[in-house]
Amino acid sequence: MEENTCPICLRQLAEPTCRHHLIPLSQGGKGDVTFMMHKICHGKVHSIFNEKELARTYTSIEKILENEELQKFVNWVKKKPLDFYDGSFKAKK
């Protein structure tokens, strides 16, 4: 994957973007494994998985992408402009 590509939707990165910690800092992640992704993609990941789930089970982009709800989101967001953002996704507690 290219450095300027979102690992979730595989589209070129455009603002707004966020840095995703593969292991959340709150769960002992060191911040050394991070990925830049569209803010909407990052929000969707955190609306599906809580930080404990991300740390225990979804420790790779490949594992995250196996989720059916996320696959449906990717198919939807691929049709949006690169800078599209919808703030309605809320992080899962």
- What's the pTM value of the predicted model, to 2 decimals? 0.87
Q: What is the full DSSP assignment across 8-76?
A: TT-SBP-SSEEEEESS-GGGT--S-SEEEEEHHHHHHHHHHS-HHHHHHT--SHHHHHT-HHHHHHHHH
pLDDT tens sequence across 5-19 = 999 999 999 999 999
Going from N- to C-terminal start, the domains of the chain cover 17-74
- At residue 90, the pLDDT reads 66
pLDDT tens sequence across 32-61 = 789 999 999 999 999 999 999 999 999 999
Structure tokens, 60: 């790779």
